[in-house]
Structure 1
Amino acid sequence: MDTPPPPTAPTEPTEADVAAFKQQLGRPPRGLRTIAHRCPCGLPDVVETAPRLPDGTPFPTLYYLTCPRAASAIGTLEANGVMREMSERLARDPELADAYRAAHEDYLKRRDEIEELTGFPSAGGMPERVKCLHVLVAHSLAAGPGVNPLGDEALAMLPEWWAKGPCADLCATAEGEGK
């Protein structure tokens, strides 16, 4: 990717955002708090979820990637061994490990400001390993560059997933709901 998408300010979800989410993931949102980042096409690509789902179940994943095109591209990175390579670098590079630990602490701080989930991990394998690039990229998009070094790296490896236009057709969604 030449340039990662710019950070966007979190916004309250609109009905159109919820419709896009449903189309992106094939289900309604659970625990949706805000749209944490918008794709350059304007649709949500990262949502912030509550630390507990409405039924009380703990949900430690604060930032959730919703764009299926971005998720697919990240899946390709994972299949190509990027997580393993990053985890190996963490074990050899103390500066990278310190920066990744700071990302973990940032994630926990942001989640704990909403509700503390004592004893629950942050996400994505932080701070010990890389377990899920989707979470790391979502954190980078929501928090902005420089907060999660491995999320930033993975983000820089992605193609411009928005280049083909929106991943959800809100006109089709509105027509389908009106029937």
Structure 2
Amino acid sequence: MPIIEPATAADVAVLEAQLGRPPRGIIGIAYRCANGEPGVVATSPRLPDGTPFPTTYYLTCPRIVAAVSTVESEGVMVEMSERLTHDPDLAAAYRAAHEAYLADRALLGDVPEIAGISAGGMPTRVKCLHVLVGHALAAGPGVNPFGDEVLARIGDVCGAAHPVQEEQR
């Protein structure tokens, strides 16, 4: 489980500005940008209104969100999903990311309605790069292969390179 820092009142204010709405179900901050602002928030698997919420690591940094949106608009999810069918090592790593995601969420609460469902299309397809990048930032390099790949592709958009990017230099 990644380190999750408690969210301060200042963090909640920043999150509200980042999201354009009050944040829901905050457990804490799972990743901070170089300027100290929240970049990924950890959320409860069940929102306060009782709704199941499978997105444990929610990407909030507007600069990273915009960069990932650009990559998504290029249609890479189809190519990434196709690679899973031809690369057993990649498929195994992506399945392991799925299992890690589920294990992290289980530590935050049991929600039977979403049992076995992670996020972002894991483990069989790539559906949402924002989720995969949020997971990669929260968990660190080597956990989510597609999250790491997108982070390497977007470069340093937030003032601090992801460790995966540093390794590639």
Partner of 1:90: 84
Question: TM-score under structure 2 normalisation?
Answer: 0.89
Deviation of 1:118 after TM superposition, in Å, equals 2.8
Supply the distance in 2 between the matched residues of 1:117 and 1:129 (Cα, whole angstroms). Answer: 23
Max Rg structure: 1
2:155 partner letter: P
For 1:90, the aligned partner's letter is: L
Query: Equivalents in 1 of 2:111, 2:58: separation in Å?
Result: 17
Secondary structure in 1 matching 2:97: helix
Alignment RMSD (CA, Å)? 1.2
Aligned counterpart in structure 2 of residue 149 of structure 1, from 141, 145, 157: 145
Structure showing greater relative contact order (alpha-carbon pairs closer than 8 Å, 6 or more residues apart): 1
Q: Which ranges of 4 or more aligned residues in structure 1 deviate by more than 6 Å?
A: none
Shift of 1:68: 1.3
Name the residue aligned to 1:70. 64
1:130 aligns with 2:126: yes
Equivalent position amino acid for 1:72 in 2: A
In proportion to residue count, which structure has more helix?
2
Query: Displacement of 1:9 after TM fit?
Result: 4.1
* TM-score, length basis structure 1: 0.84
Distance 1:88 1:79, change over 3 A: same
For these two proteins, the number of residue pairs brought into alignment is 156
Equivalence map 1:16-95=2 (5 Å)? 16-95=10-89
Deviates more, 1:115-124 or 1:13-22: 115-124
> 2:94·2:122 contact (CA, 8 Å) conserved in 1?
yes
Conservation of the 8 A alpha-carbon contact between 1:73 and 1:159: no
